[in-house]
Structure 1
């Protein structure tokens, strides 16, 4: 007996391929350009065909968040080195934060989605669960473990969003240009003028590392209190 395949199956579609195409579209044109009709056109199928792989647009958007979080979540899931069988929790959180920042900067169109949609898919929830396991293993109470993981994620998302928003400024000009700092009165604002002239405190990577280190150190100090 011949099994009749759907058009999506004939096109070789899977949920992963649908999400990959949606991610590419969002990367190129932003989340506002994403619709089931437009995505179907990109994949060469009718929009209705996509509902075999994602039940609705909300599920599609959740899937995009999952793709980005999963890239960072893998670093947490693989945090199993060390002499005692586990990577130090500080290194595990740092690796997660750096991986998440890299994924967000690679896919900046997903930033509005990641910042506004809760972890709602098995992939995103698994990443959170792995992070909580590491923190619970480091003697963080469950509530503090969740606070720490969520605080860290919010810091990374906000920092990445700031980097993306100010990129045109850093590349020279724009409405948010910081050129005006050079004209400040050095007698009234000597420290800001010095920073403007020397570039102190303006490097994104340095600021991210400083904030990340401070957060993790603070988690350690507050643990169990």
Structure 2
């Protein structure tokens, strides 16, 4: 029996495969993703995809890598002299990417960077922070702190990603007589702004690292 060999396809690239996978999980959910279904979405045989991602695990690693790359886009190659500014930009870029592709959230939350290209991006980021005065170990701690906060915050914003929905009860009505402060805040929206909260907490996290630099 002749062994099938994956071959490149004109107009297709690893980046296009990963972007198509992100779009697929946004629409259908991560549990529904398979090489066959992704191939159908791209108009190619599943075997063709193995030229670009040798396994489903490599596809998952690529999705994580692509998310981190997008968050660091421009920050690594054109770093600021102030590491705080770069860290804050990374946090906002990471959240923005996750909000654009909420389907990958379950993967990002449970799978670390684990690909050569992802390692290259992380190495350049650590070098840039080190050059700006933040030691590599502290930079790694800061990235992890900002990354995990961004993941949790974004998950709270979007609720359950596609493919993980459950029937939810409608929000309970808050009795203003029994809970006057809570009812007033819900009515006004004060303290419930996701953007303002994210910006404030990122600032707290970044400044929390400053005294030890």
CA distance in 1, matches of 2:160, 2:10: 40
CA distance in 2, matches of 1:166, 1:16: 26
CA distance in 2, matches of 1:153, 1:70: 13
Larger proportion of helix:
1
Number of residue pairs matched by the alignment: 203
Query: CA deviation digits over 1:109-153, x for unaligned, max 9?
Result: 111111111111233223322332243334444332211111111
If asked which structure has higher relative contact order (CA below 8 Å, sep 6+), I would say 2
TM, length-normalised to structure 1: 0.80
CA distance in 1, matches of 2:83, 2:203: 13
Q: CA-atom RMSD, angstroms?
A: 2.4
Map residues 112-127 of structure 1 onto 2, 5 A cutoff: 112-127=106-121
| Bigger radius of gyration | 1
**Match status 1:100 vs 2:90:** no
Map residues 68-83 of structure 1 onto 2, 5 A cutoff: 68-80=67-79
**Match status 1:27 vs 2:26:** yes
Which has the larger displacement, 25-34 or 126-135? 126-135
TM, length-normalised to structure 2: 0.84
CA distance in 2, matches of 1:7, 1:140: 44
Provide structure 2 residue ranges, at least 5 long, that are not aligned to the other structure: 162-167
**Match status 1:157 vs 2:151:** yes
Runs of 4+ in structure 1 deviating by more than 6 angstroms, as ranges, are none
Query: CA deviation digits over 1:31-61, x for unaligned, max 9?
Result: 1221011111122222122111111000001
Q: Do 2:17 and 2:52's aligned partners in 1 also have CA atoms closer than 8 Å?
A: yes
